[in-house]
Amino acid sequence: MNPEFQRNLWLELAPARILLMAGFVFCVLAIFSAAPPALPGPGFAATALYYFLVVLWGTRNAALSVIVEIRERTWDFQKLNAIHPFAMMWGKLFGSTSFVWFGGILCLPFIIYPVLQSRGPSMAAAELAVLILQGVLAQSVSLLTSLNLIRRHHNNWRLDAFLCQVTGIIAAFAFGFRGLLSASPQNQAATFSWWDMALDPQSFQSVSLAIFTAWALGGCLRAMRLELRLSNGPFVWLAFLAFLALYEAGFESWLARAIPGADFARHAGVFRLAAAGISLASSAYGMAFLEPKDPVQFRWLILQIRSGRIARALLALDCWMLSFSATILCTLALAFAFWRDPQSIGGVSASALILPLLAALGFFTRDIGFFVLFRTWSRERGDFAAAGVLVVLYIVLPRIAGPAQSLLLPQLTAPLIAFSAAWAEAAALWAWTIVRIERRTG
């Protein structure tokens, strides 16, 4: 047996704990079974309990599986063993959550049996798969987040665990609650469009859930490899970005609907690029927040580039750097598409959108710079400070800036001012950042 999994089982599944969990689950279900018909039955209670155990509690256990090792100073010992990163990853993921999975599995028959009776074995099997995948996705995203957070050497383990839990829970429910399969058919759209294909929403959501769970597990493996001092290279993250861009680009019709009067058929490519760009930018913001942005790593990269070892530097780029670069490329492609086909989109000439788009790119470049710059000041709070500055810049200041909004946001009415302001701010911020990074060399 995987030693890490076994160690977790020793700690998590002591006989007394097993009995306690079994007793707790059956007591809750017994109470709801005896409840009057007007109140929710055991099926509802089992579902709620399953989510409480597997998602809410499970995400915490998954996050703490690494965070506690750091806190208790056992992580160095773990890193110095012979366990393969994959075995270490799944040993932690499923070992640390074995107790809550035990409780969750006890709930499953009470959830699945009604579906089996009302909708047949295939739907019951699909329902079971979705429930398990939601649990695995939530826990693996939580573990992935914790593996990224510990690289920042952040000392507030409670806050880290909370952040991991939140990301895990969001991931679990990003594809809907359990109702996504068993909701009454009349309440659901018959089909929806993705890459011009009419798809069954339930099947699409289930497949999406499975694919994103696989990516999350792959992400955990990569993060674990980094912890065990193995390098990853950029290719898997680039493949994920390509997948994410293509996946989100398929929702172009959703984006087109948000722009009144847009000729979707004519500008489908533009909307796809825009949807892809938004997803890439989101990944850049997310990873810029999560990853360590170590000034030493920057110095090392600069040293490699100055020494002409470009390939070595490219292979060592962090995920946020790749997302940042991919966003820039996607935005430039979008600007090129506007330039090639200057027909109006929703009543605005496409060519008039180029400057605001490039202004948005400038603001994006500046924003990422905030995360790097603030990290040079504080390893502990730099990322939160940068996120706070962005909230002020995008939410608070525009409400009081009046006509000066162009200095903060891409504007259709004053595109040149916004463009100039964005890139001036970005250039100044990055110059300051690089000076700080290089100056700190002892």
Partner 1 sequence: MARRKFSDQLTSMIKIRNLVFEYPTARALDGVNLDVAPGAITALVGPNGAGKTTLLRLMAALETPYAGCITIGGLDTRLEPRAVHQRLGYLPDFFGLYDGLSVRRCLIFAARAHGLSSGQVNKAVMDAAQNVGLAGRLDQSAGTLSRGLRQRLAIAQALVHRPRLLLLDEPAAGLDPQARREHSRLLLSLRDGGMTLVVSSHILAELEDYSDQMVIIDHGRVAGGSTFKGTQLRIALAAPDDRLKDFLAGQSGIEVFQADASGARVIWQGGVEGRAALLQALVRAGFAVSDFGEDRHALEELYFARIDRETEH
What is the binding site for partner 1 (CB under 8 A)?
A: 3-4, 6-7, 10-11, 72-74, 76-83, 228-230, 294-296, 299-300, 303, 376, 379, 440-442
CB 4 within 8 A of CB 95: yes
Rounded Cα–Cα distance for residues 166 and 159 (Å): 11
Which C-beta is closer to partner 1: that of 20 or that of 329? 20
| Closest approach of partner 1 to the CB of residue 374, in Å | 13
State the Cα–Cα distance between residues 208 and 189, nearest whole angstrom: 17
Nearest residue (CB) to partner 1, 382 versus 410: 382
Minimum CB separation of residue 354 from partner 1 in Å reads 39
Distance CA 13, CA 202 (A): 35
* Residue for token pair 């991919």: 326
Residue 175 CB contacts under 8 Å (≥ 6 apart), including other chains: 134, 205, 208, 209, 212
Least Cβ distance, residue 302 to partner 1 (angstroms): 12
**What crossing angle do the helices spanning 58-71 and 98-150 adopt, rounded to 10°?**
50
Q: Which segments within 277-369 are labelled E, that is strand?
A: 344-345, 348-349
| Alpha-carbon span 62 to 69, nearest angstrom | 12
Least distance to partner 1 from the beta carbon of 296, Å? 5
Nearer to partner 1, 8 or 405 (CB): 8
> Which one, 2 or 165, has the nearer CB to partner 1?
2
Backbone angles phi, psi at 316, to 5 degrees: -105, 15
Q: How far is the CB of 303 from partner 1 (least distance, A)?
A: 8
Q: How far is the CB of 59 from partner 1 (least distance, A)?
A: 21
> Are 140 and 93 spatial neighbours (Cβ–Cβ below 8 Å)?
yes
Residue 122 CB partners (closer than 8 Å, separation 6+): none
How far is it, in rounded angstroms, from Cα 50 to Cα 32? 14
Q: Which is nearer to partner 1, 77 or 399 (CB)?
A: 77
The encoded tokens of residue 13 equal 């599944």
Minimum distance, C-beta of residue 437 to partner 1, in the bound complex (Å): 9
Contact 352, 413 (CB under 8 A): no
The rounded distance, in Å, linking the Cα atoms of 367 and 44 is 44
Cα gap 55→67, rounded to integer Å: 18
Question: Is 348 in a helix, a strand, or coil?
Answer: strand
CB of 230 to partner 1, least distance (A): 7
Q: At residue 412, what are phi and psi to the nearest 5 degrees?
A: -75, -30
Nearer to partner 1, 77 or 198 (CB): 77
Closest CB to partner 1 among residues 184, 441: 441
Give 253 or 297: the residue with its C-beta nearer to partner 1.
297
| CA dihedral sign of residues 383, 384, 387, 393 | negative
- Smallest separation (angstroms) from partner 1 to the CB of 142: 22
For partner 1, the closer of residues 296 and 416 by Cβ is: 296
